[in-house]
Amino acid sequence: MYIITDEGKKYLYEGLPEQKLANIVKMKPLNIRDLRKKIKNISIALAWAKRKNLVKIDKGIVKFEKDDSQVELKYLKKIENGEKIPENMIEILLKRNLIKKKKEDIFSRAEKYKGKVIDNLNEDIIKTGIWKDVSFRKYNVNLLGKKIYAGKRHIISSYIEKSRKIFLEMGFKEVDGSMIESSFWNFDALFQPQDHPARELADTFYMKNPREAILPEEFVEKVKNVHEHGGYGSTGWNYKWSNKIAKKVIMRTHTTSVSVRNLPKLNPPEKIFCIGKVFRNETIDYKHLPEFIQIEGIVASENVTFKNLLGYLKEFYKRMGFKKIRFRPAYFPYTEMSVEPEVFLKEHNEWIELGGAGIFRPEVTMPLGVHVPVLAWGLGLERFVMLKTGLNDIRNFYYKNDLNVLREMPSWL
């Protein structure tokens, strides 16, 4: 749609400037200087008059040739009346700035939807109320749109957060510790004899750099004694304990090292937990990685019992969504009683072991100055994430980080 510009309106009233010029020189040829006084926009008038051959210029004198048909005015009239005109004419009028595109208002824009079947609902249709006069094309509501990906936490992080929440809700204090550890805190302080198979190169990462740790002077003698001769009611292991072996730096094999470092600082009753990476010298396959997450917890109090240990474990696994759980005797050099919690999985029709737990031996707690029972556990994480998610290759988690897999993981566990 087009409307007439102010200039167009003026010409419609006065006639086109080139005809005005023709009329003047028709009476008497005039030079350009004189004409300028008579016609305001002489350059436009002269340009069009020359183009249409209405006048002739001879040595600065403008002479009449013929009248103009003023066809433009005819079409301007038509536009004024809202009639259609040919495209080439529109072009000419636009060029001469006699008409311009009419800015459509929202109502006229919306007008075209009236009575139609609508694909996309838009602002015009909503605002104008035209929606009352349209119908909407029915969609196949079962057809999904383009695939999009949410930003998600890694599935392991989600389960770590869930575990943290459970222990925080049960009144546990969170602690953290170092992944690089001395053999002393990882093994010796836990009453693991220095020739224990778990300490061998085949199971434990020893460090080339750094190689030797500084031992905590206040505890070295006490730990050495309990290994060599016992005490606190124990016979001890009865061998020659070596300072040098205890100094060897390793990648921690369990987060129990963090618990043990916290024992001397305890002020019972206390509950502490720690979730972190632990390392075993394994060959990588679908079931094994040299590093994995452990969920560690201890409860130290005068009156805690074996029953309470089972209570905490049961509560944790219940909140993790395992309904059927049993406790099986186990062995760890630093706990007595030792227990392995197992959950029953219908899909597998078997009991799956998920971690280790126990009450720290007096040979562990006493040399570090703790005289109350300490319940302790170190639970695996990856294995039950695998069971829960159906993933059967542990390499997906850290090694490959297969984005196809991670993007499809649930956020509600």
Residue 15 or residue 333: which is nearer to other proteins going by CB? 333
Residue among 291, 294, 204, 292 nearest 245 (CA): 204
Report in angstroms the alpha-carbon separations of 259 from 61, 177, 266, 310, 381.
111, 9, 10, 19, 18
Residue 131 or residue 327: which is nearer to other proteins going by CB? 327
Q: How far is the CB of 254 from other proteins (least distance, A)?
A: 15
Residue 19 or residue 396: which is nearer to other proteins going by CB? 396
Q: How far is the CB of 153 from other proteins (least distance, A)?
A: 5
Residue 128 or residue 335: which is nearer to other proteins going by CB? 335
Token pair, residue 215, equals: 């031992």
Task: Spell out a b/e string for 54-73, using b for 16 or more CB atoms within 10 Å of the CB, else e.
Answer: bbeeeeeebebeeebeeebb
CA distance 46 to 54: 9
- Residue-by-residue DSSP string for 330-346: --BTTEEEEEEEEEEET
Residue 63 or residue 324: which is nearer to other proteins going by CB? 324
Residue 64 or residue 384: which is nearer to other proteins going by CB? 384
Q: How far is the CB of 185 from other proteins (least distance, A)?
A: 9
Task: Spell out a b/e string for 183-200, using b for 16 or more CB atoms within 10 Å of the CB, else e.
Answer: bbbbbbbbbbbbeeebbe
CA atoms within 13 A on the CB side of 191: 24
Q: How far is the CB of 407 from other proteins (least distance, A)?
A: 6
Residue among 106, 85, 116, 115 nearest 1 (CA): 85
| The one-letter amino acid at 263 | L
Q: How far is the CB of 215 from other proteins (least distance, A)?
A: 8
Q: How far is the CB of 318 from other proteins (least distance, A)?
A: 10
Residue 134 or residue 179: which is nearer to other proteins going by CB? 179
Q: How far is the CB of 291 from other proteins (least distance, A)?
A: 6
Residues in the chain: 413
Q: State whether the Cα torsion 386-391-396-397 is positive or negative.
A: negative
